[in-house]
Amino acid sequence: MIFVALLLVFPLGWTLYLSFTNAQGSVRSPFDFIGFENYISVLSDTERFWPAAARTGIFTFGAVALELIAGMGIALLLRRSFRGQKWVRVSMLLPFVATPVAVAMMWRLILEPNIGFANQLLSWFGIPAQPWLSSPDTSLLTLLLVDVWEFTPMVAIILLAGLTSLSEEPDEAARIDGASAWQRFWYVTLPLVRPVVIVAVVLRAIDALKTFDLLYVTKGQGGGSFHEAETLNVYVYGLSFQYNNFGVASAVLILFFLMILAVMWLLTSRKKESAA
């Protein structure tokens, strides 16, 4: 317990401390206390910080929303048992247990504009080739879709566990009362699995906010040449380990951490509301 606390409190405290200093360059070089200067410069930085924050928000919100809708659809399909269900489940396990770096590499090849299979597939349907990751305009959206591919199965499996733990009686009662399939889902099933939905959303939101491997492997340092895929996590990584600008990086980290906490607080406070 003390060990765990030590692991968390020490780094956080250290980060907080660094964020008020001008630490940079070598880790051995001395640094001074400079107060809120880092925070002021970060918060007034409309070139890197705010766009990165916005991208983090768009990426997380878009990915989690799509994953939730698709995941719920899949979970509902899998709800009743059928032959081969086991195989469908196993196949759904693979995208999110596979090494993220491998997943990123794989999609880089598939989405390669000239030799990739994605554009080949589109051409069979008469859709013109897309630039995917190579264009600043489509990069973030493409990466969002890759994230959806990777983590929809996880959401589906969590939701499925929630669905199978429900008793079928309320659903049956509603059916007898003449409710349509949609009504049964919206007014009966959904409120019952709501706690599980919130858990899935919270887990996914935390991880989506922190997405790093996928973005870094596909777009490289700084999220591409125009920073088109730079989220806060990638930004902080660049600040820390390319520019060795530890002071500023720590300030961004603290702000990022506060943002995550705020999102968590929003999500969990809604949970309490629904319970009351």
Partner 1 sequence: MSATNTTEKPVLLRQQKRKHPKRTPYTIFRAIMLVMIVVIFIGPLLWMLLSSFKTNVDIQNTSKAFIFDPILENYRAVLGDGGYFQFVFNSLWIGVSSTVISLIIGVPAAFAMSRFSMHKSALVVLMARIIPGISLLVPWFYVFANLGWVGSYGVMILSHMFILIPVSTYLMMSFFDSLPRELEEASLVDGLTHIGAFFRILLPLSVPGIATAGILSFIFSWNNFMFALVLTGADTKTLPVAVFNFVSYASIDWGAIMAATVVMTLPIIVISLFLQKYIVSGLTAGATKG
- In angstroms, rounded to a whole number, what is the distance separating the alpha carbons of residues 29 and 150? 42
| Site membership for partner 1, residue 154 (CB under 8 A) | yes
Q: Which of 69, 102, 258, 262 binds partner 1 (CB under 8 A)?
A: 102
Q: Which of 144, 216, 229, 248 binds partner 1 (CB under 8 A)?
A: 216
> Which stretches within the chain are classed as H helix?
2-19, 37-43, 49-78, 85-97, 100-110, 117-124, 136-164, 169-176, 181-183, 190-209, 213-219, 232-241, 246-275
75 binds partner 1 (CB under 8 A): no
**Applying CB under 8 A, does 4 fall inside the site for partner 1?**
yes
User: Cα 21 to chain center, whole Å?
Assistant: 30
Q: What is the smallest separation between the CB atom of 71 and partner 1, expressed in angstroms? A: 11
* 158 makes contact with partner 1 (CB under 8 A): yes
Token pair in block for residue 116 = 């990739």
Which window, 39-47, 136-144, 167-175, 205-213, contacts partner 1 (CB under 8 A)?
Answer: 205-213
Question: For partner 1, what does the binding mask look like between residues 118 and 137, x meaning CB under 8 A?
Answer: --x-----------------
Q: Which amino acid is at 239?
A: L
3 state DSSP class of 82: coil
Q: In the window 181-200, what residues touch partner 1 (CB under 8 A)? A: 195-196, 199-200
276 binds partner 1 (CB under 8 A): no
* 93, 122, 190, 258: which one binds partner 1 (CB under 8 A): 93
Q: How many CB atoms lie under 10 A from the CB of residue 196?
A: 18
